[in-house]
Structure 1
Amino acid sequence: MITTEEICVPARQRVIRHVRQASLIGLAVGMGVLQAQASTGEPAPLASLKTVPVPAPPPDQLAAIVQDKRAAIQLGKALFWDTRVGSDNKTACATCHFHAGADNRVKNQINPGLLAGDKTFQLGGPNATLTAADFPLTRFANPDLAGTRGRDVNDVVSSQGVLTTLFGGIDSRGGPDRCSNVPDVVGHGGSGFSLGGVNTRRVEPRNAPGIFNAVFNFRNFWDGRGNNMTNGIDPFGLRNTDAQVWTLQNGVVRPARMTLSGSALGSVASGPPLSENEMSCRNRSFANLGRKLAGSKLLADQRIAPDDSVLGPLARNTPTYAELVKQAYRPEYWRSGVRINVATGEVQRARQSDLERSRHDRSSQRPQNGDQISQAEANFSLFFSLAVQLYQATLVSDDTPFDRYAAGNKQALTTQQVRGLTIFRGPAQCVRCHAGPELTSASVSNVTAEGRLDQRPGANNSVFRYDNGFFNTGVRPTADDPGVGGLDPFGNPLSETRMAIAGKTALLGSGFDPAKEVPVTTGAPLAIDGAFKTPGLRNVELTGPYFHNGGKSTLMQVVDFYNRGGDFTAANQPVPDPTMRPLGLTQPQKDDLVAFLLSLTDERVRFQRAPFDHPSICVPDGQEGDARAVVTDAAGNAKDVMRCIGAVGTRGAAAALPTFLRLSPFAR
């Protein structure tokens, strides 16, 4: 059984706490702009991401589960890119993260605003094709003045997933899962992902975040529900008190509590494979998926480049998933031949990661396993999530021009980019949220040193409490999407601040110590609702569209947003971050700032060089037809158009990855 590991809080935390509180006072009088800054108000020294250790689970705890880390990374890369993980055999984890760790598709990529309670498309509807003219989603007559807002839509630009279906079983011949169609028509319990009564692929309610460097985030997903401590079955860590894996102890298979810290990536990985929006027919279980893949070879329908940096050694003599699981994991997690009776639902304690309003209204929520499963099938969620975590932990882009400049090479940036860096650290106040070498205050290093709960000044000498790294920046009205202000499936707040107020800190894990945090009390002003995780900025040139709603298509549109002080900051008061106010940057300063952001692109990412190489993959790219009508397939569903991307080996591709819609980052 794996026990909770306490993350050591640095002894200097008390000193940092005083510095932080001093900086908040400085911020109140317009002096400070950086969370962890000296009393002089100067930003912290520049540092390359290479100086930051890559976060990882405690080595002894990981070794108690994983016996061959290299094999586990190979397993994780294969599972991440394998389209057969999806119920339709067309949808991999990589389907939404194939382009610089993000998604640049433009057809059938619109959600009507389900989290705002809206099922009416405004931007174009199912199977519409996005164009540059659609952006920004919220427009201003004068991009520098928030009071000139004109057209506004609450649609979200995100990623297409799967059709609305109910799971009926796996196909023993390796085909797609046997699933039954469920009408997705508004008025019949559906969400409106249909044209003329024909189901189209559902689209996620939030923009797909980039996965490169996500290992540095203390929590993952936009709303932080990807817990730092993985329980081995779903994203919710200790919050799911019923979570269990199965271990072989003295010849007997027993349920055990998995509590592995430093594993926000593993928590995230356990969500999408069973999501009815992203990858799965509803009611499929991880045990079903494990049985489906066990006897098949890795990426059987896809090509592995012979010089793939991870999978190359397996390209010619490819093992089955069951064989690689046995190589990667200790035998006490898979060796038993005893069948586990799950007729009473003992194994199915995982909770659905889909947000409540994004689910189909009419389908049952009971997963299906059959009556008996093997120990390996019962633990497949653990095998999957931990392997994907170990693979994603290798996807670190720390060789940008900015990193080289921060390391001492003063020729790495152009004169304009140096000016932009000065603006980034000064007048634009970007470092207030995009702090440290990771360029996000939601990082492991910032959260563990500064505290998971934080405070900031508000109006009339008030002090607001919030989750460190999560901010309401006025992208959308707070009522549209609660962000970290939402609830987990157990009715608990996603916000760790609210969990502390409720006295539920025992469910937070990962070394949470209330005595080392900013004290919170009932009735304290909170800046939580509508707040979202601050993303890192590396490769941001290639990862549009931007923000949790995908509402901006270029970096200049993003800079305009911050220069006017946000789109809905005034309406969202008093919750928004106090640094969200008009900046008064001139157009040349904005150009300089965009130029600096371009220095955050790692050329290995741009050209898909190791470790960012990958197997071949074909991704659904809308359906045949347009936003008025679609062509149907033999099953009566909208027929997919597939975009196929070739396998890329260690040396990368000849062509560079383009920006979203191939737009200039300076375009408005």
Structure 2
Amino acid sequence: MTLSTPLLTLSARRLRNHPLPSDRPSSRGIRALAGILVTFCLGGAVSAEPAVSALSLKSVPIPGPSHALLSQFVADKTAAIQLGKALFWDARVGSDNKTACATCHFAAGADTRVRNQVSPGLLRLSPGPDRTFQLGGAPNHKLSADDFPFTRYASLNDAGARLSDLNDVASSAGVFTTAQDGLVTVSSSGGPDNCSYVADDVIGHGGDGFNIGGVNTRRVEPRNSPSVINAVFNFRNFWDGRGNNVFNGGDPFGARNPQPLVWKRVNGVMVRVPVLLPSSSLASQASGPPLSGTEMSCRNRAFVMLGQKLLDQDILAGQAISPNDSVLGKHAKSNRPSYRHLVKQAFRPEWWNAPSTARFTNADARAAASMDLDKPAQFRQAFGVDVGQAELNFSLFFSLAIQLYESTLVSDDTPFDRYVAGDSKALDESQKAGLAIFMGKGRCINCHGGAELSNASFRNVTSQRLERMAMANGASKVYDTGFYNIGVRPYGEDVGVGGTDPWGQPLSESMMALSSLSKLLGNDFSSARNPAPAGPDDVSVMGAFKTPGLRNVELTGPYFHNGGKSTLMQVVDFYNRGSDFAAENRSYLAPDIQPLGLTEPEKMSLVSFLVSLTDERVRWRKAPFDHPSLCLPQGAIGDTLWVKPDAANPANAADDLSGACMGEVGASGSGAPLGTFLSLPPGRH
């Protein structure tokens, strides 16, 4: 049997534009085509026909800027990947020298820590932020299986009788609270930054309550940390798409920021020049956390300062590298290169070798916008210092190197990938049944389309950036491709892509088009190829979030942007009952969010299929998922009533580092596999 219809096109676009309710005439043909696929797949004789093998992630080109564009910056891609991996895992990137990018992305690219991982509802619009810790009554709570799911019903399959609800967020601990207008100095020896810590006690300093008995705990991010593995396939990054598809050299916001953020040597003179590198959302995303006052940094630190701190330090000093590390193995011994050395290897000289310095001012610091949209940096300290070109351009080097490293983190060897490539035995019977449900009754494929298993993928979005969708309430609205309101929380608690950037412009591409700002969207956005919204009421973006890919989802709990589900079965229960907050989101709810009527065996089969999306290289941390050593703060020493002050800085709690250090892992992997969140079985309700 041969399939002639390209499955990617079917699943990623037709099923989404024509939902499957049986009263729609067009649905019958679509349902039949989906049935052909399922019959074909379940028949056992799976061939490697293009329409089927295209579902393997191995068939998808790695997105990114063209070689011609990238080579304007990068001289040696191998060295740039080495630089990116070192920076990603280096705890000194954080102001406290304990917070690396990997601190929130260490387990299958996500974060499975359990203590002090709760944030209150800080993104609520009305009547304002909710600073009440409902789980544990205070920060430093230790998550347990009994805490989940955050929203509970009398019947797992019926959203009619809600028993209890929490609007907390299970996320990732970051850094301690510092003053919005505080001073920051960095150490020339690579030590921790000297920062202006203030009490986060709500009343005294307008804080958010990350404080127990007058001692600060680490702040926790207001959204769950998504996996960085396969993030290269996202057209935009972050849950709300702030990680712009165009990289501007210095912050997450692409062409929205009109100010040049990098310095180039031109005819022997260093001048500021604009950078607009398309297809580079990973670089845009990477530029945000190192200056975030919640995630990694003391407020008011500029990227120039991070360059001053790190450039002349050996890579990963104090952290072990396996001699068999797939990228950094040759640097495992004591004679490690400095970050400046790798920058010079990786990047073209016109970006780092100007012999002169330039004056870096407060205006320069403010030119790069903060990703902390609620409390941006003030930069009231005096930045008038003469700085070398490599320091001035450290944001460019850091972000592009991270992008190139993360572009190698592709997990495309799952049982599912092998199955659609022709190995009929790669899935067991339960997983095959789950695939049929995924494609049909479960409606999963309508949002998780294509080989990337996400409609927010680069390939899908670039084929059409905006689309018109028949909403659950019967209206028809324009939306950002790949961003959906699925009723996880009432949209007023977190508007997602319905929010705004630091200049008050919409994050949503649909709203940008409505506001005649399409020229800022990049990647050859064409108004002629996209539907034009008639007005604000013709757009569906409130409470909409990026659809994540599903590979390795077994290992990346807790789930959704609020982290409110602990197991895959809890996620399936959510969809089966038609979400948790369908009524509250009715005006913006995606049409496929409705009760599914799955039986218990069908739900278990769907969970089994989702487990088949785990790449064993990820589970065992084999190359390219191997890594240096890293110690992870596991909450504060103490509990929710009392925490021990840190001896060096009594304003902040002492980190609990007992059993918190991961050893280095080489290309052949670890002897201990990654487990699920809280070690829970995926099928647990």
TM range (shorter): over 0.9
Question: Normalized against structure 1, the TM-score is what?
Answer: 0.94
Aligned with residue 322 of structure 2, among 305, 322, 346? 305
Once the 2 structures are TM-superposed, how far is the Cα of residue 455 of structure 1 from its aligned partner? Answer: 1.2
Cα distance in 2, alignment partners of residues 461 and 272 from structure 1: 40
Distance 2:256 2:175 in 1: 28
Partner of 1:250: 267
Cα deviation for residue 174 of structure 1 reads: 2.4
5 Å matches for 1:175-190? 175-188=191-204, 189-190=206-207
Q: Which residue of 2 aligns with 1:143?
A: 156
**How far did residue 570 of structure 1 move?**
1.4
Matched-pair contact (CA < 8 Å) for 2:514–2:532 = no
Residue 272 of structure 1 is matched in structure 2 by 289
> Residue 9 of structure 1 aligns with which residue?
none
CA separation of 1:350 and 1:366: change in aligned 2, threshold 3 A: farther
Detail structure 1 runs of 4+ shifted over 6 Å in the superposition. 36-39
Find the partner of 2:280 among 263, 277, 282.
Answer: 263
Rounded Cα–Cα distance in structure 2 between residues aligned with 1:26 and 1:282: 46
Identity percentage of aligned residues: 55
The 5 A counterparts of 1:73-472 are: 73-116=81-124, 117-124=129-136, 125-165=138-178, 166-188=182-204, 189-316=206-333, 317-343=335-361, 345-346=363-364, 348-356=366-374, 359=375, 364-366=378-380, 369-449=383-463, 451-458=464-471, 462-472=475-485
Asked whether the equivalents of residues 498 and 544 of structure 2 are also in contact (C-alpha less than 8 Å), the reply is yes
Residues 232 and 23 (structure 1), Cα distance of their counterparts in 2 relative to 1, 3 Å cut: closer
Contact 1:24–1:32 (8 Å) recurs in 2 = no
- Counterpart-to-counterpart distance in 1, 2:670 and 2:25: 44
* Change over 3 Å in CA distance of 1:64–1:430 after alignment to 2: same
Change (3 A) 1:470 1:460: closer
Match of 1:512 in 2: 525
TM-superposed deviation, 1:252: 0.6
Q: Which residue of structure 1 aligns with residue 45 of structure 2?
A: none
Deviations 1:538-583 (A, max 9, x none): 0000000000000000000000000000000111112110100000
Instruction: Work out the CA distance in 2 between the residues paired with 1:43 and 1:471.
Output: 27
After superposition, give the CA deviation of every residue in 1:614-640 in whole Å (9 maximum; x if it has no partner). 000001110100111001112112000
Shift of 1:458: 2.9
Superposed CA offset, 1:180-228 (max 9, x none):
2111001121110000010110000000011100000000000001001
Unaligned runs of 5+ in 2: 38-50
- The Cα of 1:468 is off from its aligned counterpart by 0.3
Instruction: Please list the CA deviations of residues 225-247 of structure 1 after superposition, one character each: whole Å capped at 9, or x if unmatched.
Output: 10011001000000001142110
Amino acid in structure 1 at the alignment position of 2:498? G
- Secondary structure at the aligned position of 2:410 is classed as coil
- Which residue type is aligned with residue 538 of structure 1? R
**Is contact 2:558–2:564 with CA below 8 Å preserved after alignment?**
yes
User: What SS does structure 1 have at the residue aligned with 2:188?
Assistant: coil
TM-aligned CA distance change 1:458 to 1:175, over 3 Å: closer
Shift of 1:520: 2.1
Shift of 1:519: 2.5
Report deviation, 1:526: 2.0
1:571 aligned to 2:584?
yes
CA distance in 1, matches of 2:208, 2:72: 44
Q: Give TM-score scaled by structure 2 length.
A: 0.92
Q: Which amino acid aligns with 1:190?
A: G
Post-superposition offset of 1:367: 6.8
Match of 2:616 in 1: 603
Distance in 1, matches of 2:382 and 2:108, equals 35
Tell me what 2:653 maps to.
638
Q: Residues 460 and 608 from structure 1, CA distance in 2 versus in 1: closer, same or farther, beyond 3 angstroms?
A: closer
- Describe the shift of the 1:30–1:24 C-alpha distance in structure 2 as closer, same or farther (beyond 3 A): farther
- Give the 3 Å change call, closer, same or farther, for CA 26–96 of structure 1 in structure 2: closer
Per-residue CA deviation, residues 371-417 of structure 1 (Å, 9 max, x unaligned), is: 22111111000000000000000000000000000111110000010
Q: How far apart in 1 are the matches of 2:16 and 2:172?
A: 39
The one-letter code matched in structure 2 to 1:556 is: M
Judged with a 3 Å threshold, the aligned counterparts in structure 2 of structure 1 residues 196 and 321 are, in CA distance, closer, same or farther, namely same
RMSD (Å) for aligned C-alpha atoms? 2.2
Q: Return the alpha-carbon distance in structure 2 between the equivalents of residues 26 and 153 of structure 1.
A: 31
- Give the secondary structure class of the aligned counterpart of 1:384: helix
1:339 CA drift (Å): 1.3
CA distance in 1, matches of 2:473, 2:234: 33
Q: Work out the number of aligned pairs and report it.
A: 649
5+ residue gaps, structure 1, are 1-11
In structure 1, the residue matched to 2:638 is 625
- Give the Cα separation in 1 of the matches to 2:80 and 2:390: 15
Distance of aligned partners of 1:395 and 1:31 in 2 relative to their CA distance in 1, 3 Å threshold:
farther
